[in-house]
Chain A
Amino acid sequence: MLRIDLKSTTPVYEQIANGLRAELVAGGFGPGEKLPTVRQLAIDLGVHHNTVAEAYRQLANEGWLELKRHHGAIVRERRLPRAGPEAKERFVRPLRELVARALGEGLSRDAVAREMMKSARKLGKGRGLPA
């Protein structure tokens, strides 16, 4: 379920791309499946169609989607790339910042820790992304 937070400092197109990527990783859309058209998704989310198009382009550049004229966006069969040495850092640093933000917003350490443990256990058991 895609949701847009207009108060967020993250650009809307990036929020859309992040949400869709999470769905793709979780297997919400399989290879060959068609995503909603740019216009349809723009209407559903109440944003400009260029914003959705930008999100689709980003995911296409990452290899998740194939954009075809008049056919919309189709999910690609995508092989996982080999993670480079900097990939861990690209996960750890934003994680640290996300935790700091949550604590700054008043979430308790316990609640944040619990949430991370829940996600970690789920991942560790091979059950994929947390819902």
Chain B
Amino acid sequence: MTSLVAAVTIGGFAILHAVILWFLPGLTRRDAYLAVTQAYRQLANGGWLEFKRRNGALVRERRLPRAGPEAKERFSRPLRELVARALGEGLSPNIVAREMMKSARKLERGTV
């Protein structure tokens, strides 16, 4: 989703479509089109994008919602699952820990 937002702001639908086809050469043009529209719809539902006829998708000014009590759980549970997957794939706990620390520090410095 983050990459999509970046791509949308940079170049709009046509570029994003081309980028997806380039990255995923196994996809047919139709599949790539459907994947992009689905991603756009999801981002629009999340308040990130606005569709305008003949203008495509525009990035919206979006106020951050107030995080509910379950928001932390919606982060920590997938995080735990992601870590489990990485360990299960053979990544060492040290590498996984280091990457999380790196991300955390970037967040604290405000560089993300």
Contact = CB atoms under 8 A, between A and B. Distances in A.
Interface residues of A, number: 53
Give chain A's interface secondary structure class. helix
A85 B75 CA distance: 26
Task: List the 4 closest pairs (A to B, CB-CB), nearest first.
Answer: A106-B67, A83-B90, A22-B84, A18-B81
Interface residues of B, number: 49
B76 A113 contact: no
B2 A94 contact: no
Contacts of A97: 1-3
Interface of B: 1-3, 5, 42, 46, 48, 64-68, 71-72, 74-101, 103-105, 107-108, 110, 112
Given A107-B75, A123-B96, A129 B84 contact: yes
B27 to A, nearest CB: 18
A121 interface: yes
Given A81-B90, A91-B96, A97-B1, 8 more contacts: A25-B88, A90-B89, A98-B75, A113-B108, A119-B76, A123-B94, A129-B83, A130-B79
A98 B71 contact: no
A99 B103 contact: yes
Contacts of B77: 3
Given A22-B80, A113-B108, A129-B80, A102 B74 contact: yes
B90 A120 contact: no
A91 B91 contact: yes
